[in-house]
Structures are given as structure tokens and as C-alpha cells.
Amino acid sequence: MYQYTQEQLDSMKKVEASRQERLSNLHARMTADEKDAVLKQFHPDYIESAYETLKVGPNKGEKVLHELADLLQGKSRIETSKIDLSKPDYDVDVLVIGGGGAGSSAAVTAHANGANVMIVTKLRIGDANSMMAEGGIQAADKPNDSPAQHYLDAFGGGHFAAKPCLLEKLVKEAPDAIRWLSDLGVMFDKTATGEMVTTHGGGTSRKRMHACKDYSGAEIMRTLRDEVLNRGIPVVDFTAAIEIIKDVEGKAAGAVLQNMETGEILIAKAKTVVIATGGAGRLHYQGFPTSNHYGATADGLVLAYRAGASLLYADTLQYHPTGAAEPTQIYGALVTEKVRSLGAQLVNKNGEAFVYSLETRDVTASTIIRECKGRGNGVKTTDGEGVWLDTPMIDIIGGEGTIEKRIPAMMRMFGKYGIDIRKEPILIYPTLHYQNGGIDIEADGQTTKIENLYVAGEAVGGIHGRNRLMGNSLLDIIVFGRNAGKYASEKCKTVEVKELTLSHVDAFNKELSDAGVDTGKVSPQLLPNYKRQDL
Amino acid sequence: MEKMVNVYFFGKKYSVPQSLTIMKAMEYAGYQLIRGCGCRNGFCGACATLYRIHGKTELKTCLACQQQVEEGMYVATLPFFPLVKQVYDIQKVKPTEQIMMQLYPEIYSCIGCNACTKACPQELKTMQYIAYAQRGEYAKCAEESFDCIMCGLCSSRCPAGISHPQVAILARRLYGKYIAPECKHLLDRVAEINEGKHDDSMADIMNKSLEEQKALYNSRDIEK
């Protein structure tokens, strides 16, 4: 049994007492105006003091969070004069930077298309947010659903800001992404007759969330990793890309690499480059905890920006409504949205439901922050405060055994600390989860500004607009990973790389000094620093 | 003041807050982790760890990101373990008993010690799923091994040299591709899209004005 405080135990009793009543009386959905109001007042994206204006680079004049500005306008890790580009250590057709779901999908697809492809990753292949996605992957493949319906849900959920050509690709190629994964052997939850078991996610109008229990991302990622290894695609691990290399015509032509353990510098030359470096949760924007993996430090954005690529919606982040707020050992860890898909409600310290369970993530997170900061209805926790997620409702609604069968990872995560989520509700608070913005690309995956530079996965901006629906990220790493792999391997057949250069790094340095910018940071950051501060 | 405990990282003693996980305790002690740290949430298997409590004989296994420290804990992380992964073509293999015999014959040397099961931080019935694999019962092997995070702790304790996680992923891929029932509505939808049957409805919604799109979104019917 977990050692809750007396105040927490008293509040938990109120949650139990109101459970029966809440089972039959669902909280009303919010109107469009109510949503706008709570977002403006409580969503972290609207806190102006957290932002600053970029002084250099392609997005000069636009606002981003301080932590990102420091890195985008940071110092390079290299002195270009000391880098010898004349004898590359690797010379490949397609260089994929990042070993998560997007990078692996791109590599497998490029390899199938006959390209000589190599993956470079600063940790191991599979150390990625892809591995941690629990809830599922969307695709409109049921008779009552359609790509157009999926488009409407995602476009509206992203506040009508998505780049239409990207979102169109996402929803139209979704069913084929599921087919591709199934063909590789991914075990989706199915009925005995082969029908996909699908649920709602926040903001969906059809039940189109496909899952592999609550190990959806892990099942997809380990399968893709196995396929990369079966194909003999070289994976250079514990090696970070620290600058993009261009040729004298200004086209992307490789990357400067650095061994994470020995510091050795290596040069990779390539006809096309795919950035698939993922997100930025480990920058802990605005002091938030994060659900992200250890390497999520926006490296790809920094590499691309310094090379001259522009960013889209870099100012908008997703704070997942339900990060673990207690126990402190797992503070910020993701509690999958599937918990709410299966019926668990959000409840304040008085035992009152305060929001419909499946509003979009930004709206739901904002109502939780409002409940705690604006209304004083939060429960005090070790690290701050939180509200209850009433998990026992799941087995009441779905029948005994539902939790064990559908969300085993959640049961295990809390079970390790003596919390049985079948019997007790859990405490949650929003956690930094997803980078909505990223590098601006066209529908072929190529950056808008730099030829032969492709992007896939969370490093892309604009697919989802200013908020992403659950299940559309696992989808985008597959759709846009395959997309980048396809076009990058096609394009490399006609590319002739000219002399290599890092002159863009020198030019960026000059721009920084001309503007008098010195953030004191070296970038890309590569890893967070969690060492004790007073050492 | 938070209660402190003494732990030993690779034999060296550090005093750390009792509330921390092993991973956070290492960072508290001053380690900048590169290996042995991945998702920090129990999904990636990067932080497989062995430990023994002072005065006790039992060797325990865990994930450093999930396990809380305790007094007298002697910790050795296992950031890499040389699993044997056999290469195969998923399009050509078939879910027969022979495929395991060809690729992972060592599973038939299992001596039934169950050390793998005891070592699993996910509490899987590891030896049982190997038994299913031996018999070519891939559906059962896939289900029993599903929560495997491929940390390799099972294999580190195996006297027969079995790479359990690699056996399991082969079984799961065979199941997912060849044994699980085919999904007809999925294949139908893929065919419709390839034939252009959804082009008009997509164009229709994309060509509407923003005001019309907003109105449609706010009034859309939601499946119960």
C-alpha cells in the first residue's frame, strides 16, 4: 500500500463516494467559446513571459520559448576550421539522423527502394519517444469512418492551423501505414474475426484508435528495429549529428558526427539527409516535468535552423493532461490517454468531475491547471499538486479484467509503488509531452528552404497545427518516415554532391555576433544535465 | 530533511535521498549518464540493473528508472548485453516449428532452472514462453512475451545461453504477420484509397472556407 498523506486519503474517499453518481452523469462537453477561454487563461502556450523573440536565423522576429531560443541561437560544438571534410568516414546515399520510429521507417523504406542507407543515433536505436507511446495509432479504416472525417477531427483539434497538404497525407496514408506495420508483424489488438479493436481518443469523432495493448509504440518500435537489423542497415549508435554539412551549391550533403563517449569527430557524406531527431521534452520548458525519453532535446531543430531551414509553429507545445503527479519517483511519467478512452474520469479534490473526459489535450490540460491554480481544487502532492484520474471506473464499465488486459503497463507502473489502479484512483498533472511545431517541410518531406534535406516525425512542424490529437503522432512517424524514406531514396538517384562545406555555420556565427547575441549555450544540447547542482 | 540511505554504485559508497530511483540516485551522486538511460519510464530496457542488499545472498534484477534505492544496495548496471539476434526475412519465413530450430536451436537446451523468469523486471513467465516457442506455439509465445522490453536480464542469467527477447520478437512477428486473423475492413479501405474513391470527399472538405470548416467541426456527430 502506498503511503498517501492524510489529506490525499480524505480526498480519495470523496472520489470513491461520488463514483456511482458520476458513472451515469457524464460531464458536458465544452462549447467552442468555453474552450477558447480556458486555453487563453490557463494553457502554458499563452504565458507571454515564457517567450522571447529570435534575433537571428530564418525565423528572426518570431517568438519561441526561452529554452529553445538559447539553443537555436547557441554556439556550434565545432570550430569549422578544425574540421576536415575531404576524407569522409562514411559515404552513403541516404543518411538518417535519429533511430526512433520515423528514422527507422525512413531507413527501411529507403533500403527497400534500393538505397545505401545508414542510421546515426546519439543513443541506441529505439531510444525514442516512439517506444513510449502507449495509447495507440489513428487510422480511418472502419466502414463508418473516412479519411475526410479524420481530417476534420485533426484539423479542428489543431485549431485549423495544420498545413493542409501534410494533414491530407497523414490521413490518406493512415490505413496503408497500419497495413504496412501489420505486414511487418506488428500485433494490433483485433477481435477473433480480425476486426481492429478501436477506441476514441480526445477529440475524435469516430473510434479509430488502434492499439497494441498499452505498449503500442513499443510494439511498433521493436518491430521496426528488428526489421532494420534484419536488412543489415548500418546503425551507428551513441553518435550524435552536431552539424549538417552542405555542398557548395547549398544543398544538404551529410553531417558532422560526434561519438558520445569518446568525443571523436566523424564525417558522414550523403546524397540526401533525413532529420528524424524527435522532440524536446527534456528541455523542460517552463519548468514542466516531461513524459519524454532522455534524448528529447530539439537537436534536429537546431541543426536545421543553423543550416538555414525555417521552423513552423515552434512556439507551440503539447502538455499531456495526465502525467503522474504521485508517487514522486515517476513524477511526469505518461499516463496514457487510453485510461480516459476506457472510461476513467478526471475528478478534483472534492470528488467532482470538472471536464468531459475526452476533450482535446490542450483543453483538458488547461482545465486541470485551472482546477489547481485557478480554483484551489487541486490535491497537494510531493512535487506540487494534481487531480484524480478515477481508474477503478474502467473495470466497472468494461468488466473486471479490462485494466489488466488493456492497460497492463499502467497497472505495472503504479503497482511497483503499491498502488493498485483497479482499486484506487491516481493523482495526475499535465506533463510536457510533444513538440507541435518543428521544421517546415513540403509534402515530399523535403524542407522548404534546403534541397536534399528531409524531415520526418516529431521534428516536423505543421502536420498537426497547434495541438495534436492522441494517436496521430505514432501515425505521423510511420507515414512521414516512409514518405521521407521514399522521396529521399528516389531523389538520391539524381544527386551529384559537389564540394562539401560548413560555411553556413561560419555565416550563422557571424550573424550571431553582428546581432550581439550570446546565449551562453552550446548546441545541439544532446542530453539534459541532471547531475546534482551543488557538485 | 529527507532521509538518506547508503548505496554502492559499482562498489563505491554514496549517500542519497531514500525517495530516489537508482537512476536518479546515480545522477544525484554526480553521474552524467550516456549509456544505461533511455526512456526513463520502463519501456525501453536501456537501464537493466543487478543489485544485492548488503548481508543478503539473493542477486536481484530491476530497471534503474523504476526501482527505488534502499539501504545497503550494491548496484551494477548492465547497459549492454550481447544478445544473439539471428537475421531473417520476414516475408520468407513461415510460422513452423522448424524456423525456431533453424534460428535459435539453443532454446532446446533449456534446463528448466527458471532463472530467466526470476530475473524479468516485467514479471513475465519467461521460461514458459520459451517452452511455447520450443513447441511452435507462437500465438501463446507472443501473448506471454508481449510486455517484453528486451532489456536482456533474462539472458544474463541463462545457463543455456538463450537470447529470450530475440526468440520472443520472432514469435510475435510470426504471429502478427501470419497467424493473427487478417483485417478485411483495413484492406478494403486501403484499396478504396488507392482507387481514388476518397479523393472527392477529401477535396470537398479541404476546399471549404475556414468558416465552413469550423462550423462542420463544431457540429460533427460523435460516435457513441
pLDDT-derived band of residue A169, with 50, 70 and 90 as boundaries?
very high
pLDDT value at position A231? Answer: 98
Spatial CB neighbours of B31, under 8 Å, sequence gap ≥ 6: A531, B9
Q: Both A458 and A491 in a single domain?
A: yes
pLDDT value at position B1? Answer: 63
Report if residue A44 sits inside a domain: no
One-letter identity of residue B51: Y
- For A265-272, what is the mean pLDDT? 98
Q: What's the rounded Cα separation, in Å, for the pair A412 and B63? A: 13
The nearest alpha carbon in chain A to B69 belongs to A329
Query: Across the interface, which of A207, A238, A531 has its CB nearest the CB of B32?
Result: A531
Q: Which residues form the domain of A157?
A: 89-316+436-503
Report if residue A308 sits inside a domain: yes
Q: What's the rounded Cα separation, in Å, for the pair A172 and A146? A: 9
Q: B101-136: per-residue pLDDT in tens?
A: 999 999 999 999 999 999 999 999 999 999 999 999
List the grid coordinates of A455: 524531415
Q: What's the rounded Cα separation, in Å, for the pair A526 and A282? A: 10
Contact B213 A155 (CB under 8 A): yes
Q: Both A153 and A206 in a single domain?
A: yes
Q: What's the rounded Cα separation, in Å, for the pair A213 and A190? A: 10
Phi, psi of A486 (to 5 degrees): -65, -50
Identified catalytic residue from A150, A340, A464, A468: A340
Q: Which domain-ending residue is among A408, A432, A456?
A: A432
Query: Across the interface, which of A155, A416, A532 has its CB nearest the CB of B30?
Result: A532
DSSP string, A134-160: -S-EE---STT--HHHHHHHHHHHTTT
Contact A151 B181 (CB under 8 A): no
Which stretch of DSSP H or E encloses residue A9?
A: helix A6-24
Q: Both A132 and A220 in a single domain?
A: yes
**CA A169 from centre of chain:** 19
The answer to whether residue A418 scores a pLDDT higher than 90 is: yes
pLDDT value at position A533? Answer: 86
CATH value of B4-77 in 3.10.20.740, 3.40.50.300, 3.40.50.10860, 3.50.50.60: 3.10.20.740
pLDDT value at position B2? Answer: 82
Could you give the angle at the alpha carbon of B75 between the alpha carbons of B74 and B79, nearest 5°? 165
The nearest alpha carbon in chain A to B221 belongs to A205
Identify the residue whose cell numbers are 532521509: B3
Spatial CB neighbours of A530, under 8 Å, sequence gap ≥ 6: B24, B27, B33
Q: A310-322: per-residue pLDDT in tens?
A: 999 999 999 999 9
Q: Both A354 and A242 in a single domain?
A: no
pLDDT value at position A534? Answer: 87
Q: Both A338 and A307 in a single domain?
A: no
Chain B residues touching A333 at Cβ < 8 A: 40-41
pLDDT value at position B176? Answer: 98
Q: What's the rounded Cα separation, in Å, for the pair A322 and A334? A: 7
**pTM of the predicted protein model:** 0.97
Q: Both A373 and A409 in a single domain?
A: yes
Sign of CA dihedral A455, A458, A460, A463: positive
Q: What's the rounded Cα separation, in Å, for the pair A132 and A130? A: 5
CB-CB contact of A489 with A115 (8 Å) = yes
3-state secondary structure of A429: strand
One-letter identity of residue A465: G
Identified catalytic residue from A282, A320, A422, A466: A320
Q: State the total domains in chain A.
A: 2
CA distance B168 to chain A (A): 11
Q: Both A397 and A268 in a single domain?
A: no
Q: What's the rounded Cα separation, in Å, for the pair A372 and A395? A: 27
Query: Across the interface, which of B85, B180, B190 has its CB nearest the CB of A179?
Result: B190
- For A269-278, what is the mean pLDDT? 98
- pLDDT > 70 in chain A, percent: 100
Identify the residue whose cell numbers are 549555450: A521
Q: Which domain-ending residue is among A399, A432, A465?
A: A432
Q: What's the rounded Cα separation, in Å, for the pair A364 and A101? A: 27
Question: Where along chain B do its domains lie?
Answer: 4-77, 97-179, 184-218
List the grid coordinates of A490: 528516389
Chain A residues touching B181 at Cβ < 8 A: 190-194
Q: A284-334: per-residue pLDDT in tens?
A: 999 999 999 999 999 999 999 999 999 999 999 999 999 999 998 899 999
List the grid coordinates of A212: 497494441
Q: B38-91: per-residue pLDDT in tens?
A: 999 999 999 999 999 999 999 999 999 999 999 999 999 999 999 999 999 999
CB-CB contact of A349 with A378 (8 Å) = yes
List the grid coordinates of A70: 538559447
- For B151-176, what is the mean pLDDT? 98
pLDDT-derived band of residue A108, with 50, 70 and 90 as boundaries?
very high
Report if residue A464 sits inside a domain: yes
List the grid coordinates of B111: 534446463
pLDDT value at position B105? Answer: 97
Q: What's the rounded Cα separation, in Å, for the pair A412 and B123? A: 9
- Report the CATH number at residue A421: 3.90.700.10
Spatial CB neighbours of B89, under 8 Å, sequence gap ≥ 6: A230
Q: Both A422 and A442 in a single domain?
A: no
Chain B residues touching A329 at Cβ < 8 A: 19-21, 24, 66, 68
Contact B43 A132 (CB under 8 A): yes
The answer to whether residue A1 scores a pLDDT higher than 90 is: no
Q: What's the rounded Cα separation, in Å, for the pair A156 and A150? A: 10
Q: A426-472: per-residue pLDDT in tens?
A: 999 999 999 999 999 999 999 999 999 999 999 999 999 999 999 99
Q: What's the rounded Cα separation, in Å, for the pair A257 and A90? A: 10
Q: Both A329 and A296 in a single domain?
A: no
Q: A58-91: per-residue pLDDT in tens?
A: 999 999 999 999 999 999 999 999 999 999 999 9
CB-CB contact of A430 with A369 (8 Å) = yes
Report yes or no: B1 at the A interface, CB cutoff 8 Å: no
DSSP letter for A196, please.
B
**CA A391 from centre of chain:** 25
The nearest alpha carbon in chain A to B166 belongs to A226
CB-CB contact of A247 with A500 (8 Å) = yes
Q: Both A165 and A199 in a single domain?
A: yes
pLDDT-derived band of residue B184, with 50, 70 and 90 as boundaries?
very high
In Å, how far are A55, A110, A162, A277 from A157, measured between CA atoms? 31, 32, 10, 25
Active site residue A340: yes
Q: For residue A313, is it left (φ>0), alpha (ψ between -120 and 50) or beta?
A: left
Identify the residue whose cell numbers are 534484477: B61
- CA contacts within 13 A on the Cβ side of A176: 15
Helices (H) and strands (E) in chain B, counts: 10, 5
Average pLDDT of chain A to the nearest whole number: 97
The answer to whether residue A135 scores a pLDDT higher than 90 is: no
- For A372-399, what is the mean pLDDT? 96
Cβ count near B79 (within 10 Å):
17
Q: What's the rounded Cα separation, in Å, for the pair B147 and B40? A: 16
Which stretch of DSSP H or E encloses residue A366?
A: helix A361-369
Q: Both A284 and A349 in a single domain?
A: no
Contact B40 A187 (CB under 8 A): no
Beta-sheet strands, E only, within A37-154 = 51-53, 63-65, 90-97, 117-120, 137-138
Interface test with A, best of B4, B40, B218 (most A CBs within 10 A): B40
- Report the CATH number at residue A447: 3.50.50.60
- For A33-43, what is the mean pLDDT? 97
Strand order in the sheet with A198-199: A137-138, A209-210, A198-199
Sign of CA dihedral A349, A351, A352, A353: positive
One-letter identity of residue A116: N
The count of CB pairs under 8 A between chains A and B is 224
Report if residue A188 sits inside a domain: yes
Active site residue A532: no
Report if residue A400 sits inside a domain: yes
Q: Both A407 and A461 in a single domain?
A: no
